[in-house]
Amino acid sequence: MNEQQFTPILQTLILLSPSQRQRLHQALAKSETSTEEVLTTQFTLQKCPHCLGTQLKPWGSSHGLPRYRCAACLKTSNPLTKTPLARLRQPDKWLVYAQALIDGLSIRKAAVLCNIDKNTAFLWRHRFLTMIKSHQALHEEGIVEADETFFLESFKGQRHLSRPARKRGGVGKTRGTSDDQIPVLVVRDRHKSTVTVILEKVDAAHVKAVLAPLVDKDSVLCTDGAAVYSSFCKATGIKHEVIPSKGPRARGAFHIQNVNAFDSRLKEWMRRFHGVATKYLANYLGWRRVLERYQAIRPDILFFEAVRRKPQQLIQT
Ligand SMILES: [Zn+2]
């Protein structure tokens, strides 16, 4: 529910009688899904995270999580063992935190919402995103669009800078190709399967390393015609449709408007962070992709994305 829908509901609460208030209170308590409930009912451990054995026996619980013991290696584990959320405290607040990630709240606002301190909110953000950043499409087919976008290099939060500090979210020396711009290759097909990869360099070898295992041989690759894409298509025999940046924006079904629109949404959404540290850029890209992957993402879905090695499903229709 968005703010516009929620505000009128909030305003009508004043009209409730004492007994209606009580009923509302009960209904809210009932509708709230606790992290523990999610973990115990929807997230059972199939394999031992230590030896991958399948003979797991229930072994009580600890810290609000069900515990198992493996008949083969005798080690105990819980559904979060060996995930980025293992040993994080205050599990009762994780789903609320997942909602903060969905809403793209700042560290400060997320900390207030969950009643945790700012350092914890920061730690949780990147723990939640550790797995999510690796969840991206493995295959693109049909009409596939590719383009590069750039992010200003940032040493935000680091003590020792190799250059004088720049005002936060500042402007680089030149657009596009200077040393202080980090290139990201965005690839998206018409099923909305999306890949964003930080490139060490925008050259034929690095672009090919991303596209070759990803793009189906029968695809048509739409780009702005940069040489890196032409050379990839020439080498692989994949059909190349060039839509020059000057001129008509589409030729029939061939255009790069989906990657461009994705990039605009990404940049607009990232503005709230006032420049992100380059060492965390992949986390933010994964965060944006998971928000786009679902039509209506819920806290429990985001939570599962944060603890699973593989995404739940790449596209939700
Ligand atoms: Zn085991």
Reading the block at residue 255, the tokens are 């255009």
User: Cα dihedral sign for 284, 288, 293, 294?
Assistant: positive
- Statement: residue 63 has pLDDT above 60: yes
Rg (CA), the chain: 23
Per-residue model confidence (pLDDT) at position 243:
95
Of 59-63, 120-124, 188-192, 286-290, minimum mean pLDDT range: 59-63
Pairing of strands 143-152, 220-223: parallel
pTM of the full predicted structure? 0.82
- Statement: residue 13 has pLDDT above 50: yes
Dihedral Cα 57, 60, 64, 68, nearest 10 deg: -20
**Contacts for 197 with CB less than 8 Å, ≥ 6 apart:** 184, 185, 187, 210
Round to whole Å and give the CA distance between 317 and 314. Answer: 10
Q: Separation of 57 CA from ligand 1 center, angstroms?
A: 11
Q: Separation of 41 CA from ligand 1 center, angstroms?
A: 22
Of 114-118, 166-170, 208-212, 262-266, minimum mean pLDDT range: 166-170
- Statement: residue 315 has pLDDT above 60: no
Q: Separation of 47 CA from ligand 1 center, angstroms?
A: 8
Q: Separation of 53 CA from ligand 1 center, angstroms?
A: 5
The residue-averaged pLDDT of 102-110 equals 94
Q: Separation of 195 CA from ligand 1 center, angstroms?
A: 34
Q: Separation of 12 CA from ligand 1 center, angstroms?
A: 55
Q: Separation of 303 CA from ligand 1 center, angstroms?
A: 25
Per-residue model confidence (pLDDT) at position 316:
40
Q: How confident is the model at residue 239 (pLDDT cuts 50, 70, 90)?
A: very high
Q: Separation of 74 CA from ligand 1 center, angstroms?
A: 6
The residue-averaged pLDDT of 109-113 equals 95
Amino acid at 148: E
Q: Is 296 or 255 the better-scoring residue by pLDDT? A: 255
Per-residue model confidence (pLDDT) at position 37:
72
Highest mean pLDDT among 91-95, 287-291, 303-307: 287-291
Reading the block at residue 163, the tokens are 């250059």
In whole angstroms, how far apart are CA 124 and each of 110, 146, 160? 10, 32, 24
The residue-averaged pLDDT of 111-131 equals 96
Q: Separation of 82 CA from ligand 1 center, angstroms?
A: 13
Q: Separation of 63 CA from ligand 1 center, angstroms?
A: 21
Amino acid at 181: Q
Q: Separation of 209 CA from ligand 1 center, angstroms?
A: 36
Highest mean pLDDT among 34-43, 60-69, 126-135, 161-170: 126-135
Q: Separation of 52 CA from ligand 1 center, angstroms?
A: 6
8 A C-beta contact, residue 72 and residue 280: no
Per-residue model confidence (pLDDT) at position 7:
83
Q: Separation of 171 CA from ligand 1 center, angstroms?
A: 52
8 A C-beta contact, residue 222 and residue 251: no
Rama region for 243: left / alpha / beta (φ>0; ψ in -120 to 50; rest): beta
Q: Separation of 54 CA from ligand 1 center, angstroms?
A: 8
The beta strands (E) that lie in the chain are given as 56-62, 65-70, 76-77, 143-152, 181-189, 194-198, 220-223, 239-242, 250-251, 254-255
Q: Separation of 81 CA from ligand 1 center, angstroms?
A: 12
Per-residue model confidence (pLDDT) at position 39:
67
Per-residue model confidence (pLDDT) at position 193:
95
Q: Separation of 92 CA from ligand 1 center, angstroms?
A: 28
